[in-house]
Chain A
Amino acid sequence: MVMIEKEKFSEEMVNLGEKYGRTRNALLPILQNLIESHKTLSDDMIREVADFLGIQPAEVYGVVTFYSFLNPEKRGKFRIYLCQTICCDMQGKAEIAKELEKELGIKFGETTEDGLFSLEYTNCIGMCDQGPALLVNEKVFVKVTPQMIKEIIEGCRLQKKEKLPQSNPINFLKILPDGLFSNVIPESGLKKALSIGRGETIKAITDSGLKGRGGAGFTTGVKWNLTAVAKDPVKFVVCNADEGEPGTFKDRVLLSNYADLVFEGMTIGGYAIGAKKGILYLRGEYRYMLPHLLSILEERRKNNLLGEKILNKEDFSFDIEIKLGSGAYVCGEETALIESLEGKRGEPRNRPPFPVNTGYLGHPTTVNNVETFLAAARILANGAEWFKKFGTEKSSGTKLFSISGNCKHPGVYELPMGIKVSELLKLVGGEDAKAVVIGGASGSIISPKDFERRISYEDLATGGSVMIFGKEMNLLKVAKNFMEFFVEESCGQCTPCRLGNVQLLKGIEMLQKNECSGQYLKQLLSLGETMKLTSKCGLGQSSPNVFTSLVENFPDEIGIKRED
C-alpha cells in the first residue's frame, strides 16, 4: 500500500474497531466489511488487520482462506454466485450458467476485464423451492430465466437498481390451523416465562418433549437444564441460522415472516439459562434479511422486550446481536459455529467439553436452531400439552418441512411429526416420486417401498429437508452432486472425511461410467462405514449416507450388484 492509502486504510480500521471492537471475535465482521469495500483482501491488508487485532498474519490468512465469501482474490464489483446444488440443477441451472458465460464473456471462476463482474458457483442458498437461484452480492434472484440474466447484467452495468428484474424470494408457508402459529398473542410466551420463573420455564420445555429442530434432535430441555446449572456469571444463547443443509429453507421463511417469535424464544432461553446475551448466527447467503432483522430488534428494544429489566422484571436483562457467516456449510455444526463467532476458522471442536459448559469464549452456551426457539416461545404460550397433541411419543409437536424437487407444490409445510412419507407426498403433489431424500445431502434416499415409513426421530429423522425425485431423475447424478458438495465443504481437519469424500466421489463417477466392479463397490461401502465411525463431526459421519442408501435401496440405478 502506498503511504496515503495506508493512512486511509488505518482510518478505516479504526472505524471498524469502534464498531466491532478490537478483539479476535471482531475478525470476521472486519474482514466482511473490508472485502465489501475493497473487493479483495491483499497481503498488506491482512498484515494490517493482524497488527490491529494483535494476532499473527497467518491466523488472519487462515481465516480468510477458510470462508468462501472471503476469498482474497480480486473480484468484481458485482459478484454473481449461481447455486449449483441439485434442486437448482433440476430447475435449469445449466441453461442459466451458459447464459451468464455468454453475456459476460467469462467462465466461472473469472472476473470481467473491466472489474465489474465475477462469476462463481455456490452451494444451496436456501431457495430450493424457487430455483434456479443466484446471488448478486447480497441480493437474491429466484426463478431465474435467461431473459432475467440479460436484465440483471444490464441493471448492474447501468448501476441502476430500478432496472433490475423484480425477483424477491417467495416465503410460501402452509401452516396447521391449531399448530405453531395458532393463537399468537405477541409476547405471551415471554410473559408466561417471566411469571412462572426459570425452573418452571425449563420444566415446560422438558414436559413438551421438544427436540432440536436443526437435525440432530437433541432434547432441548436437557440442553437448557445443563446450561442453567453451569456456575458462570457469563452465559450465552446462540441461535443457529446457518441453514446450509441442501434442500433446507424453513429458517429463511421463519426469519422472514416470524422473526419476532424467534427472538421471543431466544429471550425466553436467555432467561431460563441465565444469559444476558444472545447471538443470532445468520448465514452469509441470508444477508439480504439483515436490515429487516435489525429493525425488529430495534423495535423490541423500544418496547422493553430487549435491554435492561425486560418487561419490568427487575433482575432480567438480555440483548441480541446478529453475526454473519461467510459461506461455509460446516459452520452450521454448533462447535464450528462457536469457533466462527470467535473469529476463527470454522473447524468443529472435540467434544467433550460440550458447549453447554464450554461454549462461546469458554462460557456455557446453549445453541439451538431457529425453529427450536420459535417452538419454545409457542410452548410457553400455549402449554406443553398443546404441543404434545401432535406427533408421536418420542417426537412430539409439529415440524416445518422444506419441500423441493419434483412435486407440484414445493415450499415450507407445517406438519405433525410422525407423518408418513406417502401422506406428505400426496399433500405436495409428489405422488409420482421414484425416490425421496429425507434430511438433505447428509440424509438418506428412500424408495417407494419405504414410503409408508414415518418422519420422526424414531424412524426417518430430518432437520426438515425433503427432496423429491421423479421417474426421470438419474439418482447417481443426485449422489454425485451431494458428494461434490461434501468434498468442497469438508473442513479438512480429519482424514476420513477429507479423503473419504473424495474417494466416494471418484467411486460414483466410476459407477456412472460403468467402470466400478462389485468388489470395489463393496470397498466403497466399507469406506463409508469407516467414515461414519471415525469422522470427528456430523459432516463426515453423515456424508456417506446418501451414497450408501442409494446402493441399498436402488440396486438397479447402480447398474451392478455388490458382491456380498
Chain B
Amino acid sequence: MAKILIIDDDIDIVEAIGILLRTFGHETDSAFNKIEGEKKVESFKPDLIILDVMMEEADDGMVLARDLRSKGFEKPIIMLTSLGSVTGYSVGNEEGILPVDVFHEKPISPDQLISTVKKLLEGKK
C-alpha cells in the first residue's frame, strides 16, 4: 500500500479522505497550506499527493504543483478543486498547463477517488 499526502485547508475534507484511504490500507499524512505541504513532501515522502487549489491564495495548489515538479517530484498528483463551484465557472486542465495527473472538481465520490488513486499508483509503478 502507498503513502498519500493530503494538502487542503478544509479540515473536513482532509479527515474524510484520510479515513477513506486508510480503510483501503494506505498510510496518510496531511498539510493545511502550501508551505506546510512543501515540508511534508520532504519529510513524509509520499507516493501520491491529493492537492487542493484554493488555500491561502486562490492558486496555491497550482503554484505548489509546479514548484514540486520543478524540484524533481515525479509521483502522481491529484488536484481537487472547488474553484468551479466558487466561481460558477467551468475549470479544467485541458491544455495541460498544470503538471498534475488528474484535475477533478469537488465533490468527488469515494469510489471515484479510490479508483483514481489505484490507477495512478499502478500506472506509475
Contact = CB atoms under 8 A, between A and B. Distances in A.
Contacts of A198: 95, 97
Given A199-B97, A229-B92, A357 B87 contact: yes
Contact of B83 (A203, A229, A274, A358): A229
Interface stretch (B6-14, B37-45, B57-65, B117-125): B57-65
B112 interface: no
A226 B63 contact: no
Interface stretch (A30-38, A217-225, A456-464): A217-225
A197 B90 CA distance: 23
| Interface class of chain B by DSSP | loop
A353 B87 contact: yes
A153 to B, nearest CB: 55
Contact of A357 (B62, B89, B96): B89
Interface in A166-211: 197-200, 202-203, 206
Given A199-B98, A274-B95, A219 B57 contact: yes
Interface in A324-367: 352-354, 356-358, 364
B66 A203 contact: yes
A230 interface: yes
Interface in B29-82: 57-59, 62-63, 66-67, 70
A102 to B, nearest CB: 58
Interface string B86-111: 11111111111111000100000000
Interface string A266-310: 000000001000000000000000000000000000000000000
A231 interface: yes
Contacts of A232: 90
A229 B98 contact: yes
Contact of A358 (B66, B89, B96, B97): B89
B95 A226 contact: no
A226 B59 contact: yes
Interface residues of B, number: 24
B79 to A, nearest CB: 10
B96 to A, nearest CB: 8
B63 A206 contact: yes
Interface string A207-251: 000000000000101100110111110000000000000000000
Interface residues of A toward B: which range?
20 to 34
Nearest to B99: A199
Contacts of B92: 229, 231
A230 B89 CA distance: 7
B54 to A, nearest CB: 9
B93 to A, nearest CB: 6
Contacts of B63: 203, 206, 221, 225
Contacts of A274: 95, 97
A156 to B, nearest CB: 52
A228 B89 CA distance: 12
Nearest to A203: B66
A230 B91 CA distance: 4
Contacts of B99: 199
Contacts of A353: 87-89
A213 B70 CA distance: 28
B65 to A, nearest CB: 9
A232 B98 CA distance: 16
Contacts of A226: 58-59, 83, 87
Given A229-B83, A352-B87, A357-B88, A222 B58 contact: yes
A272 to B, nearest CB: 8
B90 A199 contact: no
A354 B87 contact: yes
A199 B66 contact: yes
A197 B95 CA distance: 11
A202 B92 CA distance: 16
Nearest to A218: B58
A298 B124 CA distance: 49
A522 B99 CA distance: 55
A353 B98 CA distance: 23
A366 to B, nearest CB: 13
B62 to A, nearest CB: 5
A200 B59 CA distance: 14
Instruction: Please provide the 5 A-B residue pairs with the shortest distance between their CB atoms, ordered closest to farther.
Output: A357-B89, A225-B59, A231-B90, A231-B92, A199-B97
7 contacts: A197-B97, A199-B97, A225-B63, A228-B97, A231-B94, A232-B90, A364-B89
Given A229-B93, A231-B94, A352-B86, 11 more contacts: A197-B97, A199-B98, A199-B99, A206-B59, A221-B59, A221-B63, A225-B59, A229-B91, A229-B98, A357-B91, A358-B87
